[in-house]
Homo-oligomer: A and B are copies of this chain.
Amino acid sequence: MKHLALALATAGLLSSVLAAPKTAPKSGALKMTAQQILAASPASDWRGLDPENTLLMDLATGQVIIELAPRFAPAHAANIRALARGGYWDGLAILRVQDNFVTQWGDPDGDDAAKAKPLPAGVNAKLPAEFSVPLDRVGKDAGFAKLPDIEGWAPRTGFAGGMPVAADPKAGKAWLAHCYGVVGAGRSDAVDSSNGTELYVVIGQAPRGLDLNITTVGRVLKGMELLSGLPRGGAAMGFYDKPEQRTGIQRIRLLAEVPATERPALQVLRTESATWTQLLDARRYRGGWFVHSPGYIDVCSASVPTRPIPPAPQPPK
């Protein structure tokens, strides 16, 4: 009865079973595990958190770190920054957890104009829909790492600036795809009815049918388990029946407003890096415990790693 050895994050050595992969391996990563690839990565393949585009959400259970993607939703990102600067979410709550779909937070009284929390200064009550952007905004010069792997949801996928991206070259459009951990801005029936006050994060199978229907604004870098591991709500669409079932939000701060001593010492792997390309190949061609490799990944089956900032080299004493 040995415990199941399913290892998601580690890719072992290639076994001889993989002698005939679907397509030729594209990198030298295939003799290395994901851990070895990460350990061998040069410092230049990593970047720090962007103070103007990082949110720190404090819950009683820990901290969630969210990275905004202004290239996909500039107006929403600006509003979300202003909301965080104004302390809008402080004391508000997680209102909804719908299984295999989304966790959502905002103002419990948001639907009641008399009781709704006022918007801080500098926040726009109304924003345009930002469901997609011109493709050239995530084009080659903008660091778009195109995946060779096909899928049915979009003609093209890849990663840009650490975000999972789908694109339609014929239509000249690109968008931040609804993968696990991606954050979006809730809207009502009108396409321009979101303003960033109510946000959701994908917690189940990628609901790619939402792509191009709603504005996606970023992704969770760390702490997803604090949002995904919550009891599901019993009312329609996963809203909680009773106020006491909600999870309170202590505060959400913009990293730029956080004292240096309280900033998370975290780095994010650059999706333009050779390390990321190697990691994707290690996922396509598995080893160790795996006896079969798909020779394939999809844009939602790989997430971009973070790591603690390594200690600076010490001068000799």
Is A84's beta carbon under 8 Å from chain B? no
Number of copies: 2
- Shortest C-beta distance, A201 to chain B (Å), equals 12
A205-B301 CB under 8 A given contacts A97-B229, A198-B3, A231-B229: yes
Is A57's beta carbon under 8 Å from chain B? no
Is A140's beta carbon under 8 Å from chain B? no
When the two chains form their complex, are residues A152 and B298 in contact, meaning their CB atoms are under 8 A apart? yes
Neighbouring B residues of A189 by C-beta, 8 Å:
5, 289
A209-B286 CB under 8 A given contacts A186-B6, A229-B99: yes
- Look across to chain B and name the residue whose beta carbon is closest to the beta carbon of A110: B1
Is A149's beta carbon under 8 Å from chain B? yes
Is A267's beta carbon under 8 Å from chain B? no
- Give the distance in Å from the alpha carbon of A207 to the alpha carbon of B297 in the complex: 10
The A interface, classified by DSSP as helix, strand, loop or mixed, is loop
Is A309's beta carbon under 8 Å from chain B? no
Interface string of A86-101 (1 = CB under 8 A from B): 0000000001111111
For window 179-220 of A, CB contacts with B under 8 Å fall at: 179-181, 186-189, 191, 193-195, 197-198, 200, 203-214
Is A54's beta carbon under 8 Å from chain B? no
Neighbouring B residues of A231 by C-beta, 8 Å:
225, 229
A101-B209 CB under 8 A given contacts A229-B229, A231-B229: no
The contact of A149 among B152, B195, B198, B230, by CB within 8 Å, is: B152
- Give the distance in Å from the alpha carbon of A116 to the alpha carbon of B1 in the complex: 8
Is A244's beta carbon under 8 Å from chain B? no
